[in-house]
Amino acid sequence: MPAKSYDGILAGGLTFLKKATAAETKKAVAVNNQYAYTEAVVLHGDRDLTTNHLTMNKITVEQLNGRNVINFPLVNHTAAYLNKVQTKIKIYHRGGQKVVYHQNLTNGQMAPSSIYKLPVRTGQNALKAGKYTAVVKVKSKKQHWQFKQNFVITQGEATNLNQTAVLKQGPNWWLYIGIGLLILLLIILLIWYIRRKQKKIKELEKQLNDKRQS
């Protein structure tokens, strides 16, 4: 429990883990199973806070479950839940007006005094390095916030993430060109073989005619 009185809400949990006995710890096995469970705990202070202070930290890129994402760390500085959260995110090339990525979410929730890394998935297309500008609008009931931040995706970040991401594979033009050249070569060889056979047949026919005339 906090040592002093406070306003707002403290949310967390108590995790209980069974203590292993001395005999269990001495077992020479590769895996030891341990059981734990968590009880949610919510503490209410002297009065509820109704106005939230929300900011946004530095935008980053990472990978979740094989998908590239752009993270928008929203920071709830207030000891109060942020309910019915709506977010609208648009990402542009810096200085441009065409939307590169966008995402709209509704019915979100943020815990008191917490940071939520809101992920914007970039789909199955490869992440491209460059300079970007993000415009983020957040709404929670009657509260509104808007953030605008420039960020950079370096070539190294894009290359590393794309190497392990699940991406949509485009047409392999080199494969198609190779197959086309192989088919063309086979056609040329077939034409050469047919003409060679025809030439031999004509030579044999000429030899037969010469023998008959003699």
CATH number where 77 lies: 2.60.40.10
82-111 burial, b at 16+ Cβ within 10 Å, e below that, comes to beebebebbbbeeeeeeebbebeeeebebb
Query: Residue 59, class by beta-carbon neighbours within 10 Å (0-12 exposed, 13-18 middle, 19+ buried)?
Result: buried
Supply the pLDDT for residue 188. Answer: 93
Indicate the DSSP class of residue 51: -
The domain tally of the chain equals 1
Residue 128 belongs to domain spanning: 54-164
CB atoms within 10 A of CB 197: 10
- Average pLDDT over the chain reads 89
The span from the CA of 37 to the CA of 21, in Å, is: 18
Is 191 inside a domain boundary?
A: no
Is 19 inside a domain boundary?
A: no
Give yes or no for residue 133 having a pLDDT over 80: yes
| Residues 85-117 pLDDT 10s | 999 999 999 999 999 999 999 999 999 999 999
The SS3 of residue 170 is: coil
Over range 159-175, report the average pLDDT.
78
The span from the CA of 202 to the CA of 205, in Å, is: 5
Supply the pLDDT for residue 214. Answer: 65
Give yes or no for residue 169 having a pLDDT over 70: no
How far the first Cα of the chain sits from its last, in Å, is 124
Is 121 inside a domain boundary?
A: yes
Is 111 inside a domain boundary?
A: yes
Q: Write down the residue that tokens 């392999």 correspond to.
A: 172
Is 87 inside a domain boundary?
A: yes
